Structure 1
C-alpha cells in the first residue's frame, strides 16, 4: 500500500478534511459581498486564506511521515473543527472563543510542522 492512496486510511482522512475546509473556503468567498456583516465575513474569509493553505501543505507532508492513524485523524479533525468554529465565533463576534479556536488550529499546524521536521532529522 502506498502512502498517497485512498487505500491508506490516513491519506483518506486527510483528503476528507482537506476537502471539507476547502469547501468552507469556497462557500465563504461569495458571502464576503452579500451579507450586511461584510466586514466580519471578509475578516473570517481572510483568516481562512491565511491558515487553511498551511494545513493543506503540512497535512500532506504529515501523511508522508506515516504517523499513527489516531494521531493523524485527531489533527485533521481538530483543525477542521477549529476553523469552522472560528468562523462561527468570528461572525458572532465572540472574540475570546474565536481566539481559542484560532490558537487551536495554529497548534495543530505547529504540531504537524514540528513532527515533519523531526521525522526528517
Structure 2
C-alpha cells in the first residue's frame, strides 16, 4: 500500500468511492423492493407459506422474473466492483480517470436496471450497460494486478 494514501473524508477519491458504493448498495435494495412490489401486485409468491399468509399463489411471471434476474445480476457484479475499485484507489490513479470510471460504472448499473427491470428496452441496451460495467471492472483489476504484482 502506498504510504501517501489517506483514509479520511479529506481524501477526494475515497469520498467518491464511498458515494458510489452507497448509491450501488441502495440500488441493490431498490431492486429488491421492485421485486417485492411485483410479487404483491401479481399476488405470486416464492413459497407456499408466503402465498397462504398473503392470500396469493405460488408462482412467478415475467415482471417478477426480470426484476429478480436484475437483482441477481447486481449481486454477481457489484460486489466485485466494490472490492476491486477499493484496491484500485490504492494504486493512486489519476483523479479524473478514477472519477470517470466510478461514475460511469454506477451509471451503467443504474441503466442496466432501468432497461431490464423497470422499463424493458430491446437489446443491445442491457448488453451495452452490462458490458460497460464489466469493462470498467476488468480495467481496474488489470491496473491493480500491474501495480501490485510488477517488480518494484
TM-score norm. by structure 1 comes to: 0.94
TM-score, scaled to structure 2: 0.75
Q: CA deviation at 1:24?
A: 0.4
Would you tell me which structure has more helix in proportion to its own residues?
A: 1
* 1:47 Cα deviation after fit: 0.5
Runs of 4+ in 1 over 4 A off after TM superposition: none
* C-alpha RMSD over aligned residues: 1.3
The question of 1:96 aligning with 2:124 is answered: yes
Question: Whole-Å Cα distance in 2 between the matches of residues 4 and 71 of structure 1?
Answer: 20
Rg (Cα) greater in structure? 2
Q: How many residue pairs end up in the alignment?
A: 121
**Aligned match of 1:67:** 93
- What stretches of structure 2 of length at least 5 have no aligned partner? 43-62
Q: How does 1:24-43 map to 2 (within 5 A)?
A: 24-35=27-38, 36=42, 37-43=63-69
Matched-pair contact (CA < 8 Å) for 2:17–2:102: yes
1:20-71 superposed Cα distances (whole Å, 9 cap, x missing partner)? 1111011211322321511111011110000000111011100111111101
Structure 1: unaligned runs, 5 residues or longer? none
Equivalent pair of 1:86/1:102 in contact (CA under 8 Å): yes
